[in-house]
Amino acid sequence: MLKIVRRCERCADDEKVRGLTLSFEERRKSRQRVRLDDGREAGLALPRGTVLRHGDVLEAEDGTRIEVRASAERLSLVQCPEPAGLARLCYHLGNRHQSVQIEGNRVCYPADPVIDAMVAGLGHNILAVTAAFEPECGAHHHHG
């Protein structure tokens, strides 16, 4: 089984790499058994606390390079035309330790009926979408 042990620099455009498509929850686990996009089994043995992002390139012990891809997930999307409404919504989501992806005046978070009820109670309309989820890293987590 392929053992993936480190994050590495981007690959050259002509370098052949394998793909690994994972949900955000899966990308938060640094040690797990995975299946590459070509069906090959592999084991992640990355430093504890590693969070993978879409586009990261990993390297296995044998030198094989693997590009991480964010899978499509069920998300709730909220548009907030007013900056104060966006700030208030993000405050309440953060207060519940909810991972969020913020893009302009839009906020996405993993679909959850309890969180959706809270957001609706704040007066927001929620749109169910399926898309890749790339939430904010947080103040204490640095990518690299």
Confidence of residue 93 (pLDDT cuts 50, 70, 90): very high
Q: Which residues sit opposite 63 in a β-bridge?
A: none
DSSP 8-state assignment for residue 78: E
Which pLDDT belongs to residue 137?
76
Compute the average pLDDT of residues 85-114: 96
Neighbours of 52 (CB within 10 A): 22
Residue 131 DSSP SS3? strand
Compute the average pLDDT of residues 116-137: 95
Q: Report the distance separating Cα 124 and Cα 90, nearest Å.
A: 12
Above 70 in pLDDT, residue 94?
yes
- Give the model confidence (pLDDT) of 9-22 as tens digits: 766 666 678 999 99
Q: 107 — phi, psi (to 5°)?
A: -130, 130
> Token digits for 116?
């959706």
Which pLDDT belongs to residue 13?
62
Conformation bin of residue 92: beta by default, left when phi > 0, alpha when psi is -120 to 50:
alpha
Q: 10 — phi, psi (to 5°)?
A: -55, 150
Range in 38-52, 80-94, 128-142 with the lowest mean pLDDT: 128-142
Q: Report the distance separating Cα 133 and Cα 130, nearest Å.
A: 9
pTM of the model: 0.84
Contact 57, 11 (CB under 8 A): yes
Domains of the chain in start order, with CATH, are: 2-70 (2.60.260.20), 72-132 (3.30.70.790)
Q: Which residues sit opposite 72 in a β-bridge?
A: 132
Contact 58, 107 (CB under 8 A): no
- Give the model confidence (pLDDT) of 28-86 as tens digits: 999 999 999 999 999 999 999 899 999 999 999 999 999 999 999 999 999 999 999 99
